Structure 1
Amino acid sequence: MKTILFVCTGNTCRSSMAESMMRKMLEDAGEATKGIQVISAGTAAAKGQGASKHAVQVMQEKNIDLHKHRATPLTKGLIDQADLILTMTRNHKSQVLSMAPDAAYKTFTLKEYAGRLGDDKEIITEIEKLQGMIQKKKIDFYKKYEDEIIPLRNQRKELIDRLQVIDDRIKELEKEMAKTIENEQREVTYLQDMLPSVDILDPFGQPSWIYRECAKEIEEALKVIIQKITDK
């Protein structure tokens, strides 16, 4: 493992704290974690924005300086660069996978990867199985229709006057594809609704004690992950 990417929404609170705490833990772990790079990004980050005031304050209490942190927008390039992607919530995970479906094998919520799910592990296993089925059906579907879809997409760029006709056909194909996975997708949604524990608390706009609780929650998960890394 060379690069760990933390992902949240704005990259000024949760992922910035996770990045800075993880970096300090890796330094404390010494030689066992040498060479591991830690970065963070936000799905809706404003490039260059500083860490939130309370995030800076709470990290100062841990002797970590976040004053120089600047938000980084999440890109496909960052996803491809990372060897492990840890998101703060299931929604962030979904956004990562919508940008890079092939990153599913290395993308987890922080709590998922830390294994701090207790009795929820069976549900997670079932979700992953269903998501695997969904991905396979999508791949099979596009393989079946790629000879039609690819030329249509090319024509859409070149022939503006035929754009509506092409769009209509693409929508028909997408609706047909959606029907092939609707049962599995419904089950995934149902099971995900049973998993409130996999998201990291969002402290944005809250008082400093909420940030402190969020940092504590992240830190506990990171301790488990550091143990996983150093045990390998």
Structure 2
Amino acid sequence: MNILFVCTGNTCRSPMAEAIMKHKTTHNVQSAGIFAGIGMIASEGTREVLRQEGIDVDHASQPVTVELMSWADLILTMTAQHRDFLKQSYPDDIAKIFTLKEFANPEYEQAWQELKAAYSELEQAKLRGDKQVTLIEDKIRHLEQTIQHVDISDPFGGNYMTYQKTYEEIENYLALLIEKVENRLR
């Protein structure tokens, strides 16, 4: 499978995800940035965290291109803004663009399905004059928070611990991603 990770400048989060994924799988993996320059090395924080984890990184930044988008079977962004920008810019590729968290996390899809059902339930409760409306609205607020929290934190400019936390967050979702992708390929 060809997987493309996308962030803003392609020096922190997406190269970190690319390096971890290459270290743990045999999938074809690349990364790019929406506003990336060409040929920048990964940030010092990214390189240091990966070095501490025993993961090699030989990275040169690159911008998102039509060719990369076509190459990828799956495009995983670090934020909802990245996702939405790519969907607007590359409408032919919408079906393969997700945030890393929303694609990898099985709870996201479940929360989305529950939210659609809750909206329907709310409309029917309002029509019936049901006293459960407030409880349903509370459930909707909770589910909306679940599906809106899909960004990987940006460590840019932070200290080593900031990069370490981002590494742990990415590694956690990549473990879920690997499991999901491997199950689909079986």
TM-score (norm: length of structure 2): 0.78
Q: What pairs up with 1:58-69 in 2 under 5 angstroms?
A: 58-66=49-57, 68-69=58-59
Query: Aligned partners of 1:123, 1:198: CA distance in 2, in Å?
Result: 16
Shift of 1:43: 0.2
Shift of 1:116: 5.1
| Identity among equivalent pairs (%) | 40
Counterpart AA for 1:230:
E
Whether contact under 8 Å (2:102, 2:108) holds in the other structure is no
Shift of 1:124: 9.2
**175, 178, 184: which one aligns with 1:223:** 175
Q: SS state of the match for residue 31, structure 2?
A: strand
Shift of 1:81: 1.2
Counterpart AA for 1:109:
T
Specify the alignment match of 2:73 in structure 1: 83
Specify the alignment match of 1:53 in structure 2: 44
Counterpart AA for 1:200:
I
- CA deviations 1:59-98 (Å, max 9, x no partner) are 00111122x3110111122111110000000000011112
- Structure with bigger gyration radius: 1
Whether contact under 8 Å (1:117, 1:198) holds in the other structure is no
Shift of 1:229: 2.1
Query: Aligned partners of 2:151, 2:31: CA distance in 1, in Å?
Result: 17
Query: Aligned partners of 1:13, 1:98: CA distance in 2, in Å?
Result: 24
Whether contact under 8 Å (1:116, 1:221) holds in the other structure is no
Whether contact under 8 Å (1:117, 1:197) holds in the other structure is no
- CA deviations 1:10-58 (Å, max 9, x no partner) are 110000000000011104xxxxxxxx31000000001000100000000
Whether contact under 8 Å (1:7, 1:86) holds in the other structure is yes
Q: SS state of the match for residue 198, structure 1?
A: coil
Counterpart AA for 2:172:
E
Whether contact under 8 Å (2:21, 2:174) holds in the other structure is yes
Counterpart AA for 2:178:
I
Which stretches in structure 2 are left out of the alignment for 5+ residues?
Answer: 117-143
Greater CA deviation, 193-202 or 86-95? 193-202
Q: What pairs up with 1:60-139 in 2 under 5 angstroms?
A: 60-66=51-57, 68-115=58-105, 117=107, 121-122=111-112
Query: Aligned partners of 1:78, 1:55: CA distance in 2, in Å?
Result: 23
**31, 35, 38: which one aligns with 1:40:** 31
Q: SS state of the match for residue 219, structure 1?
A: helix
Specify the alignment match of 1:213 in structure 2: 165
Q: What pairs up with 1:133-148 in 2 under 5 angstroms?
A: none
Query: Aligned partners of 1:43, 1:57: CA distance in 2, in Å?
Result: 24
Shift of 1:119: 8.6
Shift of 1:215: 0.7
Shift of 1:102: 1.8
Query: Aligned partners of 2:109, 2:95: CA distance in 1, in Å?
Result: 22
Counterpart AA for 2:12:
C
Change (3 A) 1:76 1:96: same
